[in-house]
């Protein structure tokens, strides 16, 4: 199905959505303050402690969704804000509904990977899984859909931000490389699963009253 929304309107919608997303994350971080600490049984625990992902705790499984909007202080938030804004805007230009579907797939795959495989007793939160997922989505979307413009976007994103791929390796203490790795996988999965269908070709039609070949044409 062809997206017939004018390009300018799509850009405004994509920009407004991503700015709203950033505002929400900044408000949530402001409620917790900088450098929130998590202590077991603390009744006044910061939101990021309550809504972060606690591995293999069945009662906390749905926290994989709000955890993507929570951060451990402003440094953590700032590190995610700019790439999320850029990647999200580029991905949302192809349609808000599909973009939201892509983000749902990314958050689900990234969150489940963290929930299943992270160390016991840890709490994981942050938008970096979404950042890596959108990065992977943009890289492969054009090749999956055979779209020259999206291929160009993907190559440009790789040239500018390709160093992000080091983040899927366990090289930094206190950083959820599992969230990055599964987020990237979720973005690639979303590119295949939510790819656009081919536009059906219209068959040529004959003018009314013309049945058979034109005069002088072999039948």
The secondary structure of the chain as a DSSP string is ----S-HHHHHHHHHHHHHHHHHHHHHHHHHH-SS----TT-TT--HHHHHSB-TT-GGGGGGGTGGGG--SSHHHHHHHHHHHHHHHHHHHTT-HHHHHHHHHHHHHHHHHHHHHHSPTT--B--SHHHHHHHHHHHHHHHHHHT-HHHHHHHHHHHHHHGGGGGGGSS-STTS-HHHHHHHHHHHHHHHHHTPPPPPPPPPP-PPTT--SPPTTS--
Question: pLDDT tens, 119-152?
Answer: 998 999 999 999 999 999 999 999 999 999 999 9
pLDDT of residue 18: 98
Q: What is the pTM of this model?
A: 0.85
Percentage of residues of the chain with pLDDT beyond 90 = 74
In this predicted structure, the answer to whether residue 5 has a pLDDT above a threshold of 70 is: no
In this predicted structure, the answer to whether residue 7 has a pLDDT above a threshold of 90 is: no
In this predicted structure, the answer to whether residue 89 has a pLDDT above a threshold of 50 is: yes
> Mean pLDDT across the chain, nearest whole number?
88
Question: pLDDT tens, 153-202?
Answer: 999 999 999 999 999 988 887 789 999 999 999 999 999 999 876 444 44
Task: Identify which has the larger pLDDT, 198 or 29.
Answer: 29
Burial 6-44 (b: 16+ CB within 10 A, else e): eeeebeebbeebbeebbeebeebbeebeeebebeeeeee
pLDDT of residue 104: 98
pLDDT of residue 195: 85
The closest of 112, 110, 171 to 137, measured between CA atoms, is 110
pLDDT of residue 41: 76
Percentage of residues of the chain with pLDDT beyond 70 = 87
CATH of domain 7-34+47-194: 1.20.1540.10
pLDDT of residue 203: 52
Of the pLDDT bands very low, low, confident and very high (cuts 50, 70, 90), residue 8 is confident
pLDDT of residue 97: 95
Weakest-pLDDT range from 67-71, 105-109, 201-205: 201-205
Q: Rounded to an integer, what distance in angstroms lies between the CA atom of residue 168 and that of residue 132? A: 9
Q: Rounded to an integer, what distance in angstroms lies between the CA atom of residue 106 and that of residue 111? A: 8
In this predicted structure, the answer to whether residue 31 has a pLDDT above a threshold of 50 is: yes
């Amino acid at each position: 199905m062809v997206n017939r929304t004018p390009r300018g309107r799509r850009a405004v919608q994509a920009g407004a959505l991503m700015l709203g997303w950033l505002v929400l994350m900044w408000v949530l971080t402001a409620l917790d303050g900088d450098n929130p600490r998590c202590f077991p049984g603390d009744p006044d625990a910061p939101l990021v402690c309550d809504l972060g992902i606690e591995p293999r705790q069945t009662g906390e499984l749905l926290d994989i969704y709000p955890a993507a909007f929570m951060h451990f202080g402003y440094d953590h938030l700032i590190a995610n804000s700019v790439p999320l804004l850029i990647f999200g805007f580029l991905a949302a230009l192809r349609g808000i509904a599909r973009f939201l579907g892509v983000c749902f797939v990314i958050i689900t795959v990234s969150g489940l990977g963290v929930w299943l495989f992270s160390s016991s007793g840890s709490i994981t939160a942050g938008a970096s899984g979404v950042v890596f997922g959108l990065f992977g989505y943009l890289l492969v979307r054009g090749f999956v859909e055979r779209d020259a413009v999206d291929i160009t976007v993907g190559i440009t994103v790789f040239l500018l931000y390709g160093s992000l791929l080091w983040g899927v390796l366990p090289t930094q203490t206190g950083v959820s490389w599992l969230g990055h790795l599964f987020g990237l996988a979720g973005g690639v999965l979303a590119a295949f699963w939510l790819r656009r269908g081919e536009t059906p070709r219209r068959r040529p039609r004959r003018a009314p009253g013309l049945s058979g070949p034109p005069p002088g044409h072999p039948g």
